[in-house]
Amino acid sequence: MALPANSPRRVPTTLKQLIEQTPAIPSMSTAVLEVLRLAGDPDSSASHLADAISVDAALAARVLRLANSAYYGLPREVATVQDAVTLLGRATVRSVAMLAASYPWFDAEDEATAECNLWEHAVGVAAGAEVIVRRIDRRLADEAFCAGLLHNIGMSVIVRWAADKVPTLIQFSVQKKLSFHETEKLVFGYNHMEVGSALGADWNLPPRLLDCIAMHHEPSKLARTSLLVDAVHVADYLCKALGIGLGAENFTIQVDTSSMDRLGLTNPNDLTRVQADLMSRFRSASELLELT
């Protein structure tokens, strides 16, 4: 399939070139990477985590703003990062930091990413993965939120080059009954999962989060299936069904029902209940993030 002739520039032909030549890929701040590391380290203290956040003033300010929002429903004002860690807990602070740090990748003010509705989708899948995982293992709910936020970072790079080609790619996918990521692979030589994985590996993201980026469309291809990957996969589908983030790949996805089975979502009513919780969580997150 030929790329549209009106393209202002050709999409780089290798994954390496894509990442090197994309001018506006935000880097993952070292503060956020340290927060991710410390939140998973049982030997670290709350003050270590607070110190790691406070190193980045913009991150600290955003963490405080989010911590004081209705979404987290804390009984009193959070005045310091240390307070936020104490009141919210380390796992939730990891989610808050991730949320604060993710925005630049899906910046709604960037025309291409706004058109593709990527930020809304990231928040929707984060909310959905959290809701799904909370039913099974509450301890992993915050990590699931982070995984949902990050799953499509590769798409944020691709659309910076190819937003104008998205309608053609969608139409091609439907005609050929290919998933959008299969069409990406055919047309560009790589797909958004591979792009995201390369970025995530470069940032030294934890392996479980990398799996969610790399396998969110093919959860059963993992050597050992993962609760987080299954949750992100199903949350992705539920968001598409609700119209949350149809912008980039639209509804050209193949859903792996084995993931639903592994999550205990064996009939339509189970899914609808989860979807209702997802929608409720997403709406409160949207108010918080001024998405609506």
Partner 1 sequence: MDVIRLERGQTRTVHDADSVQADWIGSGVAFVVYEARRKRGFVAHVLQTDWEHRGSPTAPPPALEDLKGWLDETGASPSEVRAVVAGGAQPLNAGEDPRLRPGEGLSRAVTTGLRSLGIDHICEDTGGSMGRSLKLNCRNGVVDVVQGQGSSTTHFRLGG
Residues in contact with partner 1 by CB under 8 A are: 117, 166-168, 170-171, 173-174, 177-179, 237, 240-244, 246-247, 250-255, 257, 260, 265, 267-269, 271-272, 275-276, 279, 292
Between 62 and 121, CB nearer to partner 1: 121
The helices-and-strands tally (H runs, E runs) of the chain is: 17, 0
What is the nearest approach in angstroms of partner 1 to the Cβ of residue 219?
14
What is the nearest approach in angstroms of partner 1 to the Cβ of residue 94?
29
What is the nearest approach in angstroms of partner 1 to the Cβ of residue 172?
9
Between 136 and 178, CB nearer to partner 1: 178
What is the nearest approach in angstroms of partner 1 to the Cβ of residue 255?
5
Tell me which amino acid residue 197 is: S
What is the nearest approach in angstroms of partner 1 to the Cβ of residue 113?
14
Q: What Cα–Cα distance (Å) separates residue 61 from each residue in 57, 58, 68, 96?
A: 6, 5, 11, 11
Which conformational region is residue 106 in: left (phi greater than 0), alpha (psi within -120 to 50 degrees), or beta?
alpha
Residue with tokens 């410390």: 38
What is the nearest approach in angstroms of partner 1 to the Cβ of residue 273?
8
* Cα(135)–Cα(128) distance, integer angstroms: 11
Q: Count the neighbouring beta carbons within 10 Å of the beta carbon of residue 141.
A: 20
Between 30 and 171, CB nearer to partner 1: 171
Sorted by sequence, the CB contacts under 8 Å of residue 173 that are 6+ apart come out as: 179, 180, 182, 183, 249, 250, 252
37 burial via Cβ count (<10 Å: 0-12, 13-18, 19+): middle
> CB–CB of 134/292 below 8 Å?
no
What is the nearest approach in angstroms of partner 1 to the Cβ of residue 126?
17
Between 1 and 276, CB nearer to partner 1: 276
Tell me the two tokens of residue 166: 């998205």
What is the nearest approach in angstroms of partner 1 to the Cβ of residue 248?
9
> CB–CB of 229/217 below 8 Å?
no
Nearest to 106 by CA among 91, 124, 92: 124
Between 17 and 266, CB nearer to partner 1: 266
Between 143 and 256, CB nearer to partner 1: 256
* Cα(131)–Cα(235) distance, integer angstroms: 9
Between 75 and 268, CB nearer to partner 1: 268
Between 205 and 271, CB nearer to partner 1: 271
